[in-house]
Amino acid sequence: MTSAQLGKVTIEYEVDGPEDGEPMLLLMGLGAQLVAWPRDVVDGLTESGFRVIRMDNRDIGLSTKTEGPVPSRAALFKAFAHRRFAQSDYLLSDMAKDAVTLLDHLDVPAAHVVGVSMGGMIAQQLTIDHPERVLSLCSIMSNTGNRRHGIVSPRLLPTMALSMTTPRPEDPAEAERLGVAGFRLIAGPHFDADEIAGMVRSAISRNVNPLGTIRQLLAIQASPDRTPALAEVRVPTLVIHGLRDRLVLPSGGIATVRAVPGARLLMFPDMAHDLPGPRRAEIVEAITRNAARAHENQAPPVAGWAGEPDPEAAGELEKDLLDADAP
C-alpha cells in the first residue's frame, strides 16, 4: 500500500491488476477502509483486465484525519433532523475531489468509477463535478441524497445511534466482536462471519477512527440532494441494490436509476447492505458489462428526471419507491 500527499490531504491507496489495464476506481462506504473490498471482487475485476485502484477515504484507515472540535451527539442528531442543521468540516464534493486528485497523482486521465454506499454517493458527485474524468459509473446500495428515498430503516435507527455514540473498546478481541456484530446487523442471509472477522482484524491492525466515521456521516448529511444534477450524467450507469437492505432502503437504488438518463438497475432478493458471496461473480460481470458500454456507440439516453415530471407519473413513481421499502 502507498500514500499520496495531495495538497493538505494524504490518501492511502492500493493498485492491483495489469499496468495497461483500463483504470477502475473503487470507493468504499461510511467508516470502511480499502480492505473492506472483498478479495474475490478485486480479483474478478483485475482478471477482467482492469487496473483496480482502491483508496481510504479521508478520516478513515491510513488517510488524513481531520483536526478540530469533536462533533457532539446533539450535532449528529440535528444533522439527521434536517440538512440545514448539518455542520461538517467537508462535503461529499470534497471527498470526490480527493479521488480526482489521486487520479492526477497516478496520471490517470479518466477511470471507471464504482462506489458502495457512501462510496456510491461520492462516485455520483465525482461524475457530476468532473464528468470528463469518468468513463462509466456504478452506484451500489446508495441513494441520490434525497431524504425521502434510500433512508435508514426506522427499525435500525436506535441501534445505529447507539453504535455511533458508544466508545470503542480498548480490547482488540472485543472490538473485533463488535465489528463483526455491526456488519451482521446490516448483512443478508449469506453473511460470512469468518470472512468479516478477517476483514475487521485487518482494519483494526491498520487504524480505527470512530470519530472519522462521524465526520463522514456529517458530510453526507450536509451535502445537497444530487437528483437534479444526476439528470445531466451522460456516462453508462449501473445501479445495484439489495431488496433486503435496511441501512439504505431499496428506494435509494430505484431513485438513482430514475434520476440518471439511460441508467440500468440490478436488484438482488438475497442482498442486504453487503456484497453477498454467491452474487459477487454476477456483480463483477455486471460492472464489466457496464464499463464496456463506454466504448459502444450509444443512442441518446432515455430521459430520466430531466424537466418537469408528469404529476400522474410522479405519483406512480412515489408509490413504487414506497413499495420497494415495505418490509
Q: What is the pLDDT of residue 306?
A: 35
Q: What is the pLDDT of residue 183?
A: 95
Q: What is the pLDDT of residue 325?
A: 72
Q: Which amino acid is at 39?
A: R
Q: Which amino acid is at 250?
A: P
Beta strand pairing call for 9-16 and 50-55:
antiparallel
Largest CA distance in the chain: 57
| Distance separating alpha carbons of residues 267 and 140, to the nearest angstrom | 10
- What CATH number is given for 2-325 in this structure? 3.40.50.1820
Q: What is the pLDDT of residue 300?
A: 44
Residues 6+ apart with CB under 8 A from 59: 65, 66, 209, 211, 212, 213, 215, 216
Instruction: Classify residue 31 by burial, with Cβ atoms within 10 Å: 0-12, 13-18, 19+.
Output: buried
Tell me which DSSP letter residue 154 carries: T
Q: What is the pLDDT of residue 165?
A: 63
Q: What is the pLDDT of residue 168?
A: 74
| Distance separating alpha carbons of residues 302 and 243, to the nearest angstrom | 25
Each residue of 99-117: b (16+ CB within 10 Å) or e?
bbebbeebebebbbbbbbb
Instruction: Compute the C-alpha angle 171/175/178, nearest 5°.
Output: 140
| Distance separating alpha carbons of residues 212 and 195, to the nearest angstrom | 24
Q: What is the pLDDT of residue 301?
A: 43
Beta bridge partners of 24: 52, 112
What is the pTM assigned to this prediction? 0.89
Domain boundaries, the chain: 2-325
> Is residue 13 within 8 Å of 102, Cβ to Cβ?
yes
Q: What is the pLDDT of residue 302?
A: 38
| Distance separating alpha carbons of residues 140 and 38, to the nearest angstrom | 14
- What would the grid cell of residue 312 be? 400522474
Element (H, E) at 67: none
How far, in whole angstroms, is CA 41 from its chain's centroid?
15
pLDDT in 10s for each residue of the chain, 327 residues? 699 999 999 999 999 999 999 999 999 999 999 999 999 999 999 999 999 999 999 999 999 999 887 776 667 656 665 677 677 889 999 999 999 999 999 999 999 999 999 999 999 999 999 999 999 999 999 999 998 999 999 888 777 766 766 677 778 899 899 999 999 999 999 999 999 999 999 999 999 888 899 899 999 999 999 999 999 999 999 999 999 999 999 999 999 999 999 999 999 999 999 999 999 999 999 999 999 999 985 534 433 333 334 445 445 555 555 566 765
